[in-house]
Amino acid sequence: MGRQVLPHSEAAVGSSSRTDRWKELLSPHRVGTPAPKEGTPEKAAPPPDERILPDERSDYDKDYDRIVFSSEFRCLHDKTQVFPLSTSDYTRTRLTHSIEASCVGRSLGHLAGRHLSREQGVEVDPSHLGTIVAAACLAHDIGNPPFGHSGEAAIQHWVEQQLAPPAEEGMSPFQGPAEWKDLQSFEGNAQGLRILTRLQSRERWGGLRYTAATLGAMSKYPRPSVLPGGRLPVKGRVSEKKFGYFQDDQKLAVEAYQKLGLREREPGVFSRHPLAFLVEAADDICYAVIDLEDSAKLGLVPMKEACELLEQVLPSLPSPGRPTRPPPPHLETRMAQARARAIGMLIPACVKVFLEHAEEMEQGEWETPLVSAHPDVRGQLDEIKRITRRQGYESERVLQIESAGFKTLGGLLDMFALAVVTDQPNREQRKLRQLLPMESFQRPEHAEDDAKKPPERDAAIERLSKYQRLLCVTDYISGMTDGFAVELFQRLSGIKLPT
């Protein structure tokens, strides 16, 4: 069904209200910034220093740069995308995946912004949308633990096996079902939000204080681990498929979502930001197309079959200015061309769906991933994912290393989690406490006192709830690279001694 054409006056009113809505959705408010006290006069800006050129970056450019220069982003160079601890220099890691997704995201955001402005009368700066989506794509996997989704599963399994739920009084470190669920269903998306709002610049509330727009765009699941009344997620509601923030970070998450005016369906449960659909699309495009390419490069999927699969993506869509040519004889060249063409066709296809349903997204009423809503995209990408999963993700080497990673993370949790949860650590547990970075236990509410008199390590640990102590451990372990996690586990297990 086509878009209804409104009379000029009605269209003008509609575009004006939508422009106001987008101003809210692109809020540059820096989350965690303390509100000025009533009656406090605003400080006048100091006169500009004529020797220094002004910083003309937008607030969203600054977000992008802060992510790129963060240690958490650099650590993605040795974190699994699909093939853990690969010996091939070619194989992508979480870092290269995030950079590639960011490039695709920038194109998606800029193209969507241009059409919102030109065709739908919404006054937005396309470059701002492009930068926000690009920044969110850079950070979308920043919270993933070592060994990717297998690492998430390892943390979840360990919590289920080793820690009692809150129903068992006196035995559980948790004070309620939400604290238990945060760790029993440990989620890299929630850890990513935690890194940006709490773990970077830990001494102050809000961490590096990213804009609400960037945090909203990266939040695919803006809801807590336990839904109100303990209800189950609504089937087909993509924003509830997983959870997006821990209880410990709820105030900051809710601040961001409320500043953006996201629809709050229930207390703490919000609709997605429209740009989160573009971030998700960039991730979907990259991992579907590029994971197939990596699988072919490693010989897990026949190169010719992979080329043919990519060449079939969106065959029905026109390619203006691109004459049909026979594929090059060299398979690797053919693969590179097929990958570029597939991505180049998927971007406008996803933007088309976005524009058709933008108003529903603005009101929090759209709940379908863009790649799933396009009739020519879903089937092709599903077939690519099926083959990559069967022949790539489930190859013998990948499964062996994921199993080893499962034991590695479980072993590290055995050591560190139990060492910090106990109130009477034994000699070995005291040594393990010493190995945890002191900054792990730093929180903004203690910063002023700590600056006057730094606490002893045990005192710093014991002033935290047991839930908070466990989060300190998962912060530490999930921040490790694959290689460091294996190395540390081997050393602490006596398998390999430090050199």
pLDDT of residue 226: 96
Kindly report, residue by residue over 383-403, the tens digit of the pLDDT: 888 888 777 666 676 677 778
pLDDT of residue 90: 60
Residue 166 confidence (pLDDT) above 90:
no
pLDDT of residue 98: 95
Span 409-422, average pLDDT: 95
Residue 318 confidence (pLDDT) above 90:
no
Name which residue leads in pLDDT, 9 or 138.
Answer: 138
Residue ranges per domain, the chain? 146-185+395-499, 287-316+329-356+368-394
Share of the chain above pLDDT 90, in %: 64
Name which residue leads in pLDDT, 225 or 172.
Answer: 225
What pLDDT band is residue 6 in, cutting at 50, 70 and 90? very low
For the ranges 3-12, 107-116, 118-127, 429-438, the lowest mean pLDDT is seen at: 3-12
Residue 310 confidence (pLDDT) above 90:
no
Dihedral angle sign, alpha carbons of residues 202, 205, 208, 214: positive
CA–CA distances in Å: residue 90 to residues 32, 86, 296, 334: 40, 9, 11, 17
Span 354-365, average pLDDT: 97
pLDDT of residue 88: 56
Residue 431 confidence (pLDDT) above 50:
yes
What pLDDT band is residue 9 in, cutting at 50, 70 and 90? very low
Name which residue leads in pLDDT, 298 or 179.
Answer: 179
pLDDT of residue 278: 98
Span 331-343, average pLDDT: 90
287: nearest Cα among 388, 375, 146:
388
Fold of domain 146-185+395-499? eoxyguanosinetriphosphate triphosphohydrolase fold (1.10.3550)
**DSSP bridge pairs for 289:** none
Query: With contact defined as beta carbons under 8 Å apart, do 387 and 292 qualify?
Result: yes
Kindly report, residue by residue over 229-242, the tens digit of the pLDDT: 999 999 999 999 99
pLDDT of residue 8: 41
What pLDDT band is residue 466 in, cutting at 50, 70 and 90? very high
Name which residue leads in pLDDT, 166 or 226.
Answer: 226
For the ranges 282-291, 318-327, 345-354, 388-397, the lowest mean pLDDT is seen at: 318-327
Span 337-364, average pLDDT: 94
For the ranges 330-344, 382-396, 423-437, the lowest mean pLDDT is seen at: 382-396
Q: Kindly state the greatest CA–CA separation across the chain.
A: 78
What pLDDT band is residue 91 in, cutting at 50, 70 and 90? low
Residue 481 confidence (pLDDT) above 90:
yes
Residue 425 confidence (pLDDT) above 80:
yes
Span 60-84, average pLDDT: 88
Span 282-291, average pLDDT: 90
Name which residue leads in pLDDT, 329 or 21.
Answer: 21
Query: With contact defined as beta carbons under 8 Å apart, do 119 and 94 qualify?
Result: no
pLDDT of residue 274: 98
Q: Give me the phi and psi of 73, to 5 degrees please.
A: -70, -40
Residue 146 confidence (pLDDT) above 70:
yes
What pLDDT band is residue 15 in, cutting at 50, 70 and 90? confident
pLDDT of residue 319: 59
pLDDT of residue 427: 95
Residue 313 confidence (pLDDT) above 80:
no
Share of the chain above pLDDT 70, in %: 88
What pLDDT band is residue 170 in, cutting at 50, 70 and 90? low
Look over the chain and give the mean of its residue pLDDT values, rounded to a whole number: 88
pLDDT of residue 10: 46
What pLDDT band is residue 320 in, cutting at 50, 70 and 90? low
Residue 195 confidence (pLDDT) above 90:
yes
pLDDT of residue 45: 65
Span 173-183, average pLDDT: 93
Name which residue leads in pLDDT, 478 or 326.
Answer: 478
Span 219-225, average pLDDT: 98
pLDDT of residue 401: 73
pLDDT of residue 87: 56
